[in-house]
Amino acid sequence: MDTRTSKTSHGARPPLLVAIVGGSGAGKTWLAKKLHAELGPDAAHFSLDDFYRDCSRLHPERRAKINFDHPRTIDWECMEKVLADLKAGRAAQLPRYDFKTHSRIREKMALACKPMVLVDGLWLLHRRSLRRLFALKIFIDCPARTRRGRRLLRDLRSRGRTRISILEQLKNTVEPMHERFVAPQRKWADVVLRHTFGAGEVRRLARRLREQLDLPQSTQTGNEA
């Protein structure tokens, strides 16, 4: 589908969906937020992380043993519903997830349908049904050592984890699942970024996205790096 010419049922142009994929700690959310800042009110952003299945009915010890680095832990039906709403030009209701308790937060978050929607996540290109919805697919290629260091800091600071549990998870599930499910998605990417990308690459990507939607170029980002 050519998102530059297609129309929704209301006659408006459907949004351009952008997938940002890479391993845990690769910099997906960082890139999405930087692009969002460059694109301003023309863009919206959300993460696949909020689509983890609710585990509130399970005993805490059992929750802790779940392999959250496997794609089956995602509520794909809910994710596809959100993307379908956006493609049809409708606002979407996003779930919210608490990583400390491995459970859904009761209140959902409304996401307005913007000309461009940035989505970051581990497995956005793993399923063909989702892959075909994205007009631009970005993969961040980041070495394991860098990803492990970032994951360790993040989980210690914001997800209520201990250092030992994080290191065990990295060894037992994160890296094996990365090789099995995350790394193979590189072949479906339109753009592959090295983990050392910086402001220049962000501006070039933002310019490319604006060109795809025929949006005015920003005058606030300065010269190319």
Residue 138 DSSP SS3: strand
Helix or strand or coil: residue 167?
A: helix
CA–CA separation, 14 and 9 (whole Å): 9
Name the CATH superfamily for 16-212: P-loop containing nucleotide triphosphate hydrolases (3.40.50.300)
Residue 202 has a pLDDT of 92
Which pLDDT score, from 0 to 100, does residue 217 have?
65
C-beta separation of 195 from 27 below 8 A: yes
Delimit the domains of the chain by residue range.
16-212
Per-residue confidence (pLDDT) for residue 5, from 0 to 100: 40
**Phi and psi at residue 7, to the nearest 5°:** -125, 155
How confident is the model at residue 154, as a pLDDT? 84
Q: Is 0.75 surpassed by the pTM of this model?
A: yes
Nearest in space to 47 (alpha carbons), one of 14, 11, 22, 66: 22
Distance between CA atoms of residues 120 and 33, nearest Å: 10
Contacts (Cβ under 8 Å, ≥6 apart) of 171 = none
Q: What is the pLDDT along the chain (225 residues), one digit of tens a residue?
A: 333 344 554 446 789 999 999 999 999 999 999 999 999 999 999 999 999 999 999 998 888 789 999 999 999 999 999 999 999 999 999 999 998 888 999 999 999 999 999 999 999 999 999 999 999 999 999 999 999 888 888 888 877 788 888 888 889 998 999 999 999 999 999 999 998 888 899 999 999 999 988 766 654 433 332
